[in-house]
Amino acid sequence: MLSVIDALIAGERDAVRLSKLVYASKKNKENGKLAAALTGCMKEHHRFNLQMAKAEYDLLIKQSAEYIEKIEAICLRDFPRQSALLKTIPGVSRISSAVIIAETGADMKVFENSGKLSGWVGLRPKNDESAGKYKSTAITKGNRYLKPILVQVAWAASRCKGSYFKDKFNRLSIRKSSKKALIAIARKISVVVWNILKDLTPYNPALQVIYEPAKLDARIRYHQKEMERIAKLNP
């Protein structure tokens, strides 16, 4: 699309030649819809305004690239090990690893456990329960910078071939919406992030899900109570 904008700024008006610069389906090109969309009145002041907007866009893209380069340099200088370890997680890129370090400080001592980190990020469901019934399972508000990054990481991880997160996402999507499944994957990735930064060890796909001993014991006790309850129902 940028090539079309450059052509318009240069003074090109022919819709057919402009349509050749657009990546579109063959059907839209053949039925004339694309050419019709590129047909209009483009005067000198229109081209000037478009040129100014394009220059502003180019500046923002250049500045964004420079910021990313600077942030990554700081991470590699002050947190080289943490940065490298985070990139072993499926879906985590150099940008997302830098955001995780920037927002958490790469210090998991401030979070008592992985659940505290997930809650701080805003990936845990609300505790909206009354009379044993859940009124809402919506997630809480949290860090407005880290939450969307982890959701993006979850989306990328759910598309990684052979990834545990892809398999988990597909299974969750069967019984709940794709959006809720994606949030669940993001929450699991936050648990992995906590464990990796706490122990300073790379992501191990063989472990799949990292359980804390306290949480594992609690889950065992829960299932034991459920088994006892079922046994009482069937004497």
Give the tens place of pLDDT for each residue, 179-216.
889 999 999 999 999 999 999 999 987 765 555 566 66
CB atoms within 10 A of CB 234: 5
The answer as to whether 74 is a domain residue is no
Same domain membership, residue 225 and residue 126 = yes
Same domain membership, residue 58 and residue 90 = no
The answer as to whether 213 is a domain residue is yes
Same domain membership, residue 54 and residue 168 = no
Q: Is residue 85 within 8 Å of 155, Cβ to Cβ? A: no
Same domain membership, residue 193 and residue 101 = yes
Tokens describing residue 31: 């039925």
Same domain membership, residue 193 and residue 145 = yes
Last residue of a domain, one of 35, 63, 91: 63
Backbone angles phi, psi at 160, to 5 degrees: -75, 120
Same domain membership, residue 46 and residue 149 = no
Q: Is residue 60 within 8 Å of 15, Cβ to Cβ? A: no
Residue 182 belongs to what domain range? 80-233
The answer as to whether 131 is a domain residue is yes
Same domain membership, residue 107 and residue 33 = no
Same domain membership, residue 124 and residue 15 = no
Last residue of a domain, one of 14, 38, 63: 63
Same domain membership, residue 170 and residue 134 = yes
Same domain membership, residue 145 and residue 227 = yes
Whole-model pTM over 0.85: no
Q: How far apart (Å, rounded) are the C-alpha atoms in residues 196 and 80?
A: 14
Same domain membership, residue 31 and residue 128 = no
Number of domains in the chain: 2
The answer as to whether 112 is a domain residue is yes
The answer as to whether 11 is a domain residue is yes
Same domain membership, residue 158 and residue 205 = yes
- pLDDT by position in tens, the chain (length 235): 778 888 888 887 877 787 777 776 666 666 677 777 778 888 889 889 999 999 999 999 999 999 989 988 998 899 999 999 999 999 999 899 999 999 999 989 999 888 889 889 998 775 555 455 545 556 677 788 899 999 999 999 999 888 889 988 998 888 888 888 999 999 999 999 999 999 999 998 776 555 556 666 777 888 888 888 888 886 6
Q: Is residue 144 within 8 Å of 123, Cβ to Cβ? A: no
